[in-house]
Structure formats: structure tokens, C-alpha cells
Amino acid sequence: MLGASRWAQPAAAPQQTSPSAAMRLTAWTLRRPFQKTSPCPVTHDGNHTYARANLVHASSSGGSSSSSNAQTGLSPTAGRNLSGASAGPASRPAGLILPPGFRSAPMIATAAATSTEIVASAAYSSAPEASPPAGYRGHGLDGPIIWLGNQRVHSLSERGRDVMRSMSNWAAKELPRYLKSAERSWQPADLLPDSASPDFYDQVSALRAASANLPNDYLVVLVGDMVTEEALPSYMNMLNTLDETRDETGASDTPWAHWTRHWTAEENRHGDVLNKYLYLSGRVDMHSVESTIQRLIGRGLDPKLENNPYLCFVYTSFQERATRISHGNTARLAQYHGDVPLAKLTGLIASDEARHEAAYTAIVAEIFERDPDGAMLAFADMMRKGIVMPAHFVDDDWHTQANGKGTNLFVDYAAVADAIGVYTTNDYANIVDHLVKRWDIGNVKVVTGEAAEAQAFLIKHSERIRRLADLQMERRMRDRKRGKGRTAAFSWIFKREVALG
Ligand SMILES: [Fe+2]
Ligand SMILES: [Fe+2]
């Protein structure tokens, strides 16, 4: 996930270093396992024109209230696509600003009561050029556009809320089948030396011997993957921001809350087992790794989900497949480097990710059934924004200082993952293709012009990424030929250097 580009930059946490665009694409399949591939700067197509809407400009007693969307005169959905997720209001007026006629939603009142700066930039009903058929009730994404600071929030419309509520019985019936109980699950202790055993030290020695030949670049990627898994509190937090599906109490008796808690419980084993394995291996600087995890959880993540389950479940569908691919390739490489226990462990993680991917893609497929236009727009919106890797805010407060201005730990970690074939830009394109096929995008019947346009965009999207991947590869080969290949030192491996491409 590296490179420079017009790909939308992360909106939030301005004090944090944003990874460059290509970083967000770098991936997780082993298309060319032992071949060097390069990270790819991917740009999105920002030239789509969307239907003009009967836009109601924001106005307030507090002065200037025009947001970027209001200035363009486009519908909220158009603004979503044209401005990208990261673009907040050009100038942020103080206080709560709502367009005339804007309904007072409870979440707005709550936010206002806490003096949080919110701007609702446009009315929530978009007007596509071609009038939808009589009886069309709108889609899940044409909710109000509300800004919290420079982050868009609560974009799920009333129609979208109805859709998610209507899926409650479906979720209760379908989602549990994708979960495994604690009794049926492997646990980290099953895969690591038994600390209660008299031959514990011998088992640890065997683990260390098996890991002895893992190369530095592989270790960087394994640490990056582990750190990503260890930031699980952020992901549970993310799921619990979602309108209609969040766990309201921490122990809610709803199918969505049940799913979130049990998914988290399964995921918790991933970071746990990788962390313990790396600790016992003695191959990495655990203090540096642990402080990186602490920083990352403190920073959170910003995949631009707008508290919207449509967007989030597209994101998690993509990410679960990406992690499945990444851990699967990590397993193959572990085997190649002679570490069979690590290959088994990462392979088991990959199989968990595959189940989770199946669940999230089933949720989105069901949204497509109930709200084809909304689901189509959500998928396109996430593709236009670019899928950020969950650890995109990772930092160790050393990397940039040691490797020079402009370098970024996340970008460099993703470059190494790409270079050793754990997750490449082509993997990203493959995931797009897979999801287009999984949700049968070409045959979905949509009714609005904007959804039809999103559909056309999605069908061609992977081609754009592959073209960029090819350009990236050419550049990498050229740089190598000229002896300009970059390296970076990583604190995680005792400040040793590895090649980035
Ligand atoms: Fe995981
Ligand atoms: Fe996962």
C-alpha cells in the first residue's frame, strides 16, 4: 500500500502521518510468491459526473456555512464521490449548521449538546438525473452528510435504517453459522510451547531453531501483520460506531451485537498467537513492537465508514479477504524458509479470515437484495476512497527520523509486504474482481442513474488498478536497473535494513 497519488488521503487525525496512496493498496496474495513486485501508487478516477441535485445550501446564523458539497452544487451522493471521503468542509464554521428543512436527528442533538463541531452540508435527498420509478423509497446512502471535524459521519438514511432493521432475523439465522465456539476453536496454547510442561525449554529451543532462517524482510512483514491484529480494540470500536448494528450496551442481545462480540473473540486469538510466537522466537525487538502496538491503538483507524453499516460491511468484506490472502502467503513463505510451526499457525489464522470473509460478503449480498442502489453506491464509494489497511496509522516514532524526512513506517512495511509477495497491488485488484463477481455486480438491477454509474465504474475498477500496478512494476524495475532501489531500517528488527522493492 504505497506510493504517491491522488488517492484520497486519510481525513482524520491531522497530527498523524498519512501513508501515501499506494500503501493502501498493497496487499495480501501470493500471486508471484518469490518474485519481487513493487508497491503501486493508485489513483482513483475522480472525473465522474453525478446528477445535480436540488441542493439546499447550508446556512446558519453563525456565518459562512458552505461546505465543499454546497459549493459544488452537487447532491450529497455526488459530493461523496467527487470530493472523496477525506475532504471535509473547506472552511469549518463553528457550531452546528444545518440546511433549511433538515430533520433534527437525535445523533445531531447529542453531538451538539457536547459542543462537538458538526456541519450538515446538504439535504439528504439526492436527485438523480433520471427520475426513479414511482414508489422508489431512496437508498441507504442518501442520508444527510454530516461533518464531525473533518470526518463524515452518520450517512445512513432512514431507508438504510429500515433495511438494516429488516435484516435482523436474517442476521440471527445466518451469521452464527460463520462462527466457531471456543470449544471448537484452536487456541494459541495449542500451537505454542506448553509453559506447564517439563520440557518447555526444549520446545522453545525447537521453535527458535525453526525460526532461525526467517529473513529480515519476512520478519518485518510478520511483525506488521501481528501489530495489525493486535490493534483489535480499534476494530471492535469501529463496528460499534455503526448505526443500527452497534452493540449498545456491550452485552446487547441483538444478532448484530452477538456477531460483533464473537467475531472479536475469534480475532483476539490471532494477535495473541503471533505475539507469543514472536516473543519466544527472539528474532524481533519486542519493546519496539509492543510500543508500536500501544501507539497504533491510541491512534485508531479511519477507513471513512461514516457510521454506516453499508460502507463498513463492504470494507470488512475486502479486509477479511485481504488478511486471508496475507496470512496464507505468510504461511507459504514460512514453509519455504523452513518454519513449519509458523506455517501451521499462520495457515490456521488464514482459515479463520476466510470464514469471516464469507460472513461479511453474505451480509453485503443481503443488502444488495434489499437495497440494490444503496449497496451499489456503497461498494463504489469504498472503492473510490480506497481500502485503507487497518494499520495505516502505525508508527514507532523512530522510523521517519532514522530513514529520512518523508518516509513512513506503514508505507515502508507495505512496500516490503508487496516486495516479498505477501500482499501486492495485484492482490488488491484480484479482491476487487472477486467481490464484483461475488455480488454479481454486472447483473444487479438498479433504478437510479447514480447507481447505474457506480455499477459501470465498479465493473472497470480492477482494470485501472492493474494498469497502475504495471506502471509501478516498470518503475521499480527501472530503479533497480539504475541501482536506485530503496532500503529502510526497521526498529522492529533491531534497526536492520531491508530492501523496499
Ligand atoms: Fe485476524
Ligand atoms: Fe479478520
Q: What is the pLDDT of residues 432-457, one digit of tens each?
A: 999 999 999 999 999 999 999 999 99
Average pLDDT, the chain: 79
Which of 44, 139, 327, 356 is flagged as catalytic? 356
Ligand at shortest distance from the CA of 359: 2
- Spell out which residues have Cβ within 5 A of ligand 2, the ion: 320, 323, 353, 356
For residue 191, being part of any structural domain is answered with no
For 17, which DSSP code?
P
Pairwise CA distance, residues 299 & 16, whole Å: 8
pLDDT, tens digit (0-9, with 9 covering 90-100), for 5-63: 222 233 333 344 444 443 444 433 222 333 333 333 222 232 222 222 222 222 233 33
Question: Within 10 A of 496 (CB to CB), how many other CB atoms are there?
Answer: 15
- Ranking 104-118, 260-274, 323-337, 364-378 by mean pLDDT, the lowest is 104-118
Contact assessment for residue 347 and residue 328, using Cβ atoms and an 8 Å cutoff? yes
pLDDT at 292 over 60: yes
CATH of residue 386: 1.10.620.20
Q: How far apart are CA 267 and CA 229, in angstroms?
A: 8
Amino acid at 134: A
Whether 195 maps to a domain, the answer reads no
CB 128 within 8 A of CB 449: yes
pLDDT number for residue 76 = 40
Position 181 in a domain: no
pLDDT score recorded for residue 480: 84
Percentage helix, strand, coil for the chain under 3-state DSSP, each rounded to 5 = 55, 5, 40
Q: 174 lies in a domain?
A: no
Q: Is 154 left (phi over 0), alpha (psi -120 to 50) or beta?
A: left
CA of 267 to the centre of ligand 2 (A): 6
Bridge partners for 148 per DSSP:
118, 151
Q: How far is the CA of 496 from the centre of ligand 2 (A)?
A: 30
Establish if 88 belongs to a structural domain. yes
What's the gap between Cα 477 and its chain centre? 29
- 190: in domain: no
Q: Which of 353, 371, 396, 418 is catalytic?
A: 353
Mean pLDDT across the stretch 87-95?
34
Answer yes or no: is pLDDT of 110 > 50.
no
Query: Which of these is catalytic: 320, 371, 373, 418?
Result: 320
| pLDDT-based confidence at residue 130 (cuts at 50, 70, 90) | low
pLDDT at 479: 86
Cell reading at 384: 473510490
- Residue 329 CA to ligand 2 center (angstroms) comes to 15
User: For position 141, what pLDDT does the model report?
Assistant: 85
Question: Which residues are 119's β-sheet partners?
Answer: 97, 147
Phi (first) and psi of residue 145, to 5 degrees: -90, 120
**Does a structural domain hold residue 189?**
no
Residue 35's alpha-carbon distances to 30, 340, 412, 427, in angstroms, are: 9, 21, 18, 14
Q: Is 57 a catalytic residue?
A: no
Residue 267 among the catalytic residues: yes
Residue 97 is classified by DSSP as B
Q: DSSP state, 486?
A: -
Query: Is residue 183 assigned to a domain?
Result: no
Domain containing residue 415: 1-165+202-501
Q: How many CB atoms lie within 10 A of CB 500?
A: 24
pLDDT for position 45: 30
Query: How many domains in the chain?
Result: 1
